[in-house]
Amino acid sequence: MNTEKPITLLVNDSYFAYCSAKYIIKENANNISLIIFSNSKSNKNEAFKIFKKVSNKYFIFRSFIHLLSKIFLKKKSVAYLAKKYSILTTSVASSAELNRKLNTSTLGFAFNFDLILKKRILKMFSKGVYNIHASKLPKDRGISPVLWAFARGDKTIWSTIYKIDEGIDTGKICKQFSLSVKKSDTFFSIYKRVSEKSGEILNSLVSDILEDKVILKNQDEKIVSNHCSWPDKEFDEMMKKSKLKLIKWVDLFK
């Protein structure tokens, strides 16, 4: 265990992962031993699998954001920050590869990580792995909950910081908060704000987590949980009915 650098980050290379992770990286760079990127969805086969699951409209949006990140937002990426602060990085494409490359660590933070963390991985972190999920758990478990909440016209968007367990979005809750949706919001703008605020709050909890001062609570299983799937044609209809937009050009200059 690297006690001098007790933190390991598990991220994908998306812009929204950067929005959440940037606070911890900038303020705790000297305490981060390794950043592990998941690249399981970067190849053509995985892209095709996603294409078959989602609506054409969402796939175009997702592809546009990916292209934007690779070409115009290179300095707004976790990879750029890792290089800037001289933090060791590696990439994995499967759980087996993650198991081989991961060293025993004190504390882990996951930001849009594409791989499920199994029991043997979680056991390698003495103080656990914390994740951000943009909903008021146990409601809206699953994929892109903030996207579905925005599409159905929720006036507030919630986010939960929780300690990962073996289930899917079932771990003990560390912190929950909400942001009001503005009339001018698009999915891009509200998700960016939720990601940034979540990362800022998570960063404020780092010391307390390391010192075992955080209070965790079980999710209320009396609350009916809705499982969010990939945005499909039903999602498109919800967006059309509510007259909401995924992104506006002005979002790129904020």
pLDDT tens digits for range 20-32 = 999 999 999 999 9
What pLDDT sits at residue 1? 46
* Predicted pLDDT of residue 73: 80
* pLDDT score of 253: 79
Q: What pLDDT, on the 0 to 100 scale, is given for residue 45?
A: 61
pTM: 0.92
**pLDDT for the residue numbered 166:** 93
Task: State residue 43's pLDDT score.
Answer: 54
In whole angstroms, how large is the CA radius of gyration of the chain? 18
Per-residue pLDDT at 51 exceeds 50: yes
Instruction: Tell which wins on pLDDT, 4 or 119.
Output: 119
Count CB atoms within 10 A of the CB of residue 73: 15
Instruction: Output the pLDDT for position 70.
Output: 78
CA distance 122 to 222: 27
DSSP 105: B
- Euclidean distance between the first and final Cα of the chain, in Å? 41
Domains observed in the chain = 7-253 (3.40.50.170)
Tokens 């940034």 belong to 196
Cis upstream peptide for 6 (omega within 30°): no
Length of the chain: 254
- What average pLDDT does range 147-158 have in this prediction? 94
